[in-house]
Structure 1
Amino acid sequence: MSEPRALSDRAEAATPPKGTLQMTLTVKLSEIVEALDSATEELAYYLDKRTGEIILVTDEDMQAAEDDELISEYPDWQRESILKAREVLRDPDHFLQLPDQFDIHEYQIMEDFCIQFEDRDIGQELHRLIKGS
């Protein structure tokens, strides 16, 4: 069985150009899974590509960060979140926004899995089964 085409395409696209510095970053998979499960229209999660930290930014925090309001007007517990939102806005190249519930298409993932088989009969049978026909 060969590697899925979409995965190999992404791997090639993720390969840094020659002569660039490549660093290893440790990211906790459990934190990414939790962020993906918790994402809503009002909550966005970002991966800090420098530290591996997952950052939660609410719509309210992002609006406050965009408005450049004085954070002293906000409660202590919210100030750190607003500062993180400002950092995301100020330095977007260091952050990767994780997909939300509208970005993840489970059925498309299953279809892609079915068509990646070298044995077309297996792929077609799996595809037939997920379609329910």
Structure 2
Amino acid sequence: MKKVKLEDIIEAMELINDDSNCYYNKMTGEITYVDDETRRLAEDCSMEDLESLPDWQRDDVRRAIDVEENWNYYIALPSKFDINEYDIMVKFCYFLDNDKIANQLLNALNGRGAFRRFKDTAFRLSIEEKWYEFRDEALRKIALDWCSCNGVEIDNK
């Protein structure tokens, strides 16, 4: 199994959303991003269809096909649900020393649009840098746990 740079895993995790996931190739050490649209194209695509796609899309579909056909060579990175950014935001609120600021952020997390309100509130309160440092460390821990659970070695070069 190839080693992987922790930064590459974290960067890939930041790309993941409701409609996508990333996969680590155990043989090459590469990380592949696949969204649902590309996955559907890969499932329905004949060789003739593949050649008619634009270059950029053809490459994406080929990667999605490779993940599907060679599943045993890939490990899925943590999904959006494994990462749970909402939970990270709540933990950040309880991490803060200032109860007034923590309560304002917790209130921002109620209802629709909570992510945007939380980030806007953090900006307004001038703690967005502290938030992003906390979030980065949380993602780092998730990535390290993922590596440990999957026997993936980290390249420290």
* SS of alignment partner, residue 102 of structure 1: helix
**Which one has a bigger Cα radius of gyration?**
1
Show CA shifts across 1:17-55 (max 9, x none).
xxxxxx5x2201111001111200122111001111011
For the residue of structure 1 that corresponds to 2:81, the secondary structure is coil
Aligned to 1:91: 70
Give 2:80's aligned residue: 101
- Provide the rounded CA distance (Å) in 2 between the counterparts of 1:35 and 1:98: 8
Matches within 5 A, 1:102-121: 102-105=81-84
With 86-95 and 97-106 compared, the bigger mean Cα shift is at 97-106
User: Runs in 1 of length 4+ with deviation above 2 angstroms?
Assistant: 104-108
In the alignment, residue 60 of structure 2 is paired with which amino acid? S
Are 2:11 and 1:34 aligned? yes
TM-score under structure 1 length normalisation: 0.59
Greater RCO (CA < 8 Å, at least 6 residues apart): 2
Where structure 1 has 5 or more consecutive residues not aligned to the other structure, the ranges are 1-22, 112-128
1:105 Cα shift? Answer: 4.5
- Give yes or no for the alignment of 1:49 onto 2:26: yes
Q: Choose which of 6, 18, 37 in structure 2 pairs with 1:60.
A: 37
Looking at structure 2, the residues matched to 43 and 28 of structure 1 have their Cα atoms a distance apart, in angstroms, of 21
TM superposition score normalised by structure 2: 0.50
Query: Please, which runs of 5 or more residues in structure 2 have no aligned partner?
Result: 100-157
1:79 aligns with 2:58: yes
| Greater fraction of residues in helix | 2
